[in-house]
């Protein structure tokens, strides 16, 4: 999946990957993860900026690459950012689940396939990856992320929150539609059939009459040059009644 025209997705992937790697590098994950305590209330916020381990990070990045760029191009960068900000306090697992649900809701499947007695769509592998991510981290947060995406698109959400769009100077407000950069060759004009070509077609399509041969264009031109005053139909008739050019010339000479 291309990340072109998806600046919010690129920033999200970089921040999530960098924060998770830094937390793992300094081994401070246990002091930043849920649940918050009276002595460490900041855990309610810090848990939302990283994932607990590398496998969960890999799954989350894979899911986001498959879903977030399409959502950003379909909705707009600011619209996607508003959705992410609404779900962000629940953490990256909930945020990933919200992207999967919204992607399945807004992007119709291009095909279906059967696996035994079950009919699946291209969204099925993404849901499988989400289930694996939830089992590795927190199924509750994944469910909350889906519910948050449902709430965001429901009429229960207050209208000011639904219309909120964060100011992003690097991203347009309207959806970005990628344009194809592939160069297509200009269509070549159809060749116009010449007179000789049309005569050949007529000659080939006209059924042959017994005792009458179809003279080639070379013979017609040769005899026409010898008798420029005769009409073309007379030359063709003489050639049709003669076995060769010499006999046709004799016929025309005797007739004149």
Percent of the chain with pLDDT over 90: 32
DSSP string over 174-216: SPP-PPP-PPPPPPPPPPPPPHHHHHHHHHHHSPPPTT-----
Which one of 110, 129, 153 terminates a domain?
A: 153
Q: Are the C-beta atoms of residues 144 and 98 closer than 8 Å to each other?
A: no
Average pLDDT, the chain: 82
pLDDT at 247: 81
Q: Which of 240, 256, 234, 238 is nearest to 248 (CA)?
A: 238
Residue 23 shares a structural domain with residue 142: yes
* Bridge partner residues of 114 (DSSP): 119
Give the pLDDT mean for 5-11. Answer: 89
Residue 116 shares a structural domain with residue 232: no
Q: Is residue 34 part of a domain?
A: yes
Give the model's confidence band at 241: pLDDT under 50 very low, under 70 low, under 90 confident, else very high. Answer: confident
Give dist(CA 2, CA 178) in Å, integer: 10
Residue 12 shares a structural domain with residue 112: yes
Which one of 153, 183, 204 terminates a domain?
A: 153
Give the pLDDT mean for 60-86. Answer: 91
Residue 116 shares a structural domain with residue 19: yes
pLDDT > 80? residue 144: yes
Residue 139 shares a structural domain with residue 221: no
Q: Is residue 37 part of a domain?
A: yes
Show the domain range for 129: 7-153
**Which two tokens mark 92?**
């990256």
pLDDT > 90? residue 93: yes
pLDDT at 57: 93
pLDDT at 33: 80
Give dist(CA 137, CA 57) in Å, integer: 10
Between the alpha carbon of residue 129 and those of residues 42, 100, 182, the distances in Å are 30, 10, 33
Domain count, the chain: 2
Q: How many CB atoms lie within 10 A of CB 1?
A: 13
State pLDDT tens for residues 186-235. 555 555 555 555 555 555 555 545 556 788 888 888 878 777 777 888 88
**Which two tokens mark 193?**
């059939």
Q: Are the C-beta atoms of residues 68 and 12 closer than 8 Å to each other?
A: yes
pLDDT at 178: 54
Q: Is residue 80 part of a domain?
A: yes
> What CATH number is given to the structural domain containing 28?
1.20.1540.10
């Amino acid at each position: 999946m291309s990340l072109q025209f998806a600046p919010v997705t690129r920033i999200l992937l970089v921040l999530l990957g960098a924060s998770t790697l830094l937390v793992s590098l300094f081994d401070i994950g246990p002091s930043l993860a849920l649940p918050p305590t009276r002595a460490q209330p900041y855990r309610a916020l810090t848990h939302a900026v990283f994932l607990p381990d590398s496998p969960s990070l890999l799954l989350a990045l894979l899911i986001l690459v498959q879903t977030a760029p399409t959502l950003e191009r379909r909705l707009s960068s600011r619209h996607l950012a508003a959705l992410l900000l609404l779900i962000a306090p629940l953490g990256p697992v909930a945020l990933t689940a919200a992207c999967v649900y919204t992607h399945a809701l807004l992007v119709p499947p291009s095909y279906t396939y059967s696996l035994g007695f079950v009919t699946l769509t291209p969204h099925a592998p993404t849901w499988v990856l989400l289930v694996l991510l939830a089992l590795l981290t927190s199924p509750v947060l994944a469910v909350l992320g889906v519910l948050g995406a449902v709430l965001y698109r429901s009429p229960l959400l207050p209208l000011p929150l639904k219309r909120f769009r964060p100011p992003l100077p690097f991203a347009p407000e309207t959806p970005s539609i990628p344009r194809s950069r592939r160069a297509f060759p200009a269509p070549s004009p159809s060749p116009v059939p010449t007179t000789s070509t049309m005569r050949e077609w007529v000659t080939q399509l006209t059924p042959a009459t017994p005792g009458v041969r179809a003279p080639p264009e070379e013979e017609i031109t040769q005899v026409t040059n010898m008798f420029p005053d005769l009409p073309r139909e007379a030359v063709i008739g003489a050639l049709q009644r003669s076995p060769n050019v010499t006999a046709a010339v004799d016929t025309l000479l005797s007739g004149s």
